[in-house]
Amino acid sequence: MGMAKSPMEILLNRTFTPREQEEMLREDMEAELDAINLYSQQLSITAYDDVKKALEEIIYDEKTHFEIFRELLEKHGTDEEKARKAAKRELAKILKKNASSHDDQSEE
Ligand SMILES: [Fe+2]
């Protein structure tokens, strides 16, 4: 029983500090972006129309989720302006990537 407690276990006895809450929202935004990237890659290489349609709908939903977390971060973040700008840059990158039919874009 010498297992160290996970950060989540430790947190179960209390609520997030403002700093932790901000970090949580950033992680959630990142998870949505990862999902958007994964589904976009899959969309570009699937041959089935029904799979394409499902992925397109889900990508739309994930963008909505991203927006929800972004707005919450803007509301509760400790550095709203910085967070807002970083989030917009990230989203713009994703949207640009999705609009492009190629997957070989280099980092900016
Ligand atoms: Fe999501």
Inside any domain, residue 82: yes
Centre of ligand 1 from the C-alpha of residue 59, in Å: 9
| pLDDT given for residue 31 in this prediction | 97
Domain count, the chain: 1
Residue 42 tokens read as: 């899959």
- The alpha carbon of 25 and the centre of ligand 1 are apart by a number of angstroms equal to 13
| CA 92–ligand 1 middle distance (angstroms) | 18
What tens digit of pLDDT does each residue of 45-98 get? 999 999 999 999 999 999 999 999 999 998 887 766 666 677 777 777 777 777
3-state secondary structure of 54: helix
The tens digit of pLDDT for each residue in 62-75 reads 999 999 999 999 88
Q: Percentage of the chain surpassing pLDDT 90?
A: 48
Q: What's the rounded Cα separation, in Å, for the pair 9 and 4? A: 10
Q: Which domain holds residue 31?
A: 18-97
CB 74 within 8 A of CB 25: no
Cα 51 to averaged position of ligand 1 atoms, centre (Å): 18
Task: Tell me, in angstroms, the distance from the centre of ligand 1 to residue 2's CA.
Answer: 35
Euclidean distance between CA atoms 69 and 17, whole angstroms: 17
The reply to whether 3 falls in a domain is no
Whether pTM exceeds 0.75: no
pLDDT for the residue numbered 108: 42
36 CA to middle of ligand 1, Å? 8
Which ranges constitute the DSSP H helices of 2-105?
7-11, 18-45, 49-76, 80-99
Instruction: Determine the Cα angle at 11 with ends 10 and 17, to 5°.
Output: 135
In single-letter form, the type of residue at position 42 comes to Q
Is 103 among the domain residues? no
C-alpha closest to that of 46 among 65, 38, 34: 38
